[in-house]
Amino acid sequence: MDATDGDTPGGVAARLTGRAVTAERRRSVALTEVALDDGRTVMVKRDDEGAVRAEAAGLRWLARAGAVAVPAVRGADRHWLVTDLVAEGRPDARAAERFGRELAALHAAGAPAFGAAPPDGPVEAFIGRAPMRNVPGTDWPGWYAEHRVLPYLRRAVDAGTVRPAEAADVERVCARLPRLAGPPEPPARLHGDLWNGNVLWGADGAVRLIDPAAHGGHRETDLAMLRLFGCPHLETVLAAYDRAAPLAAGWRERVGVHQLFPLLVHAVLFGRSYAEQAVAVAREALAA
């Protein structure tokens, strides 16, 4: 049964979980914590239809890998998503080590193709509030350029956020991607929006990932996003990852290439400062 405009977060939680509601606490316009009569607390999120469908499908796909934990999906309809609430703790080195191993296992679970959407996930998905198309491809450099870098570059140029001369440098990076990309990698099962705000350090010592933009991609892209926006104990995470699933030689030199995608997304959403960062990493890649 679909949500109606008259639904409240508590009413949605009761309808989708089959439990009575004992308390509610609004976290933001879109997020509400709801306590249920069986002792659980769930997070109720309201969003656009496509975003709900993409997030629910992404969480379920990541969960099926049996690697990094994600909040369980307890119910979803056109505009509402109900998931378990994560009890947060403090980051520590032991949790970071475990997270690195689990992230490697998540990526190793694989995907049918670069750009493959999660099962039941839409082609027209989202990364944050920006549209993201999940179009499959077999060649990572060509797919990454066509479906991850250039669409956001064009939008940023159209908005005046990236200047034409700067865009030419990003386009030159795209043309050189077959040389810059390193050894071929199989499609990995990516979280897809792996910045620090989507990494929750649980009170039980386990990391959980939220708000995915899940798709098949290059595993170095998730790692580059972790570095771009900061992550506690990042070097511990990366070292544990590399021990579990060794990264190809030169991966640190390729970080900027993989950061082009999230930087241009942020340029589209948030403006010029991110455009300047994108142009800087593009020029650094060209100079290498």
Kindly state the tokens that stand for 89.
């703790």
Question: Which is nearest to 239 in space by CA: 226, 254, 256, 228?
Answer: 226
CB 62 within 8 A of CB 191: yes
Alpha helices in 134-271 (DSSP H): 140-144, 150-158, 164-180, 219-229, 234-244, 255-270
CA nearest 65: which of 117, 20, 105, 121?
Answer: 105
- Rounded-to-integer distance, Cα 37 and Cα 81, Å: 19
Instruction: Select which of 47, 193, 211, 222 is catalytic.
Output: 193
**Cα dist. 236→171, 209, 218, 253, 279 in Å?**
34, 18, 21, 19, 29
Distances (CA, A) of 185 to 43, 108, 219, 247, 285: 36, 11, 8, 10, 20
State how far Cα 77 lies from the chain centre.
21
Q: Is 139 a catalytic residue?
A: no
Tokens of 192: 């897809």
Asked whether 179 and 212 are in contact (CB, 8 A), the reply is no
Provide the CA 144 distance to its chain's centre, in angstroms. 15
Residue 240's closest CA among 96, 110, 108, 66? 96
Q: Is 140 exposed, middle or buried (0-12, 13-18, 19+ CB in 10 A)?
A: buried
Tokens 């795209």 correspond to what residue? 174
Cite the active site residues.
193
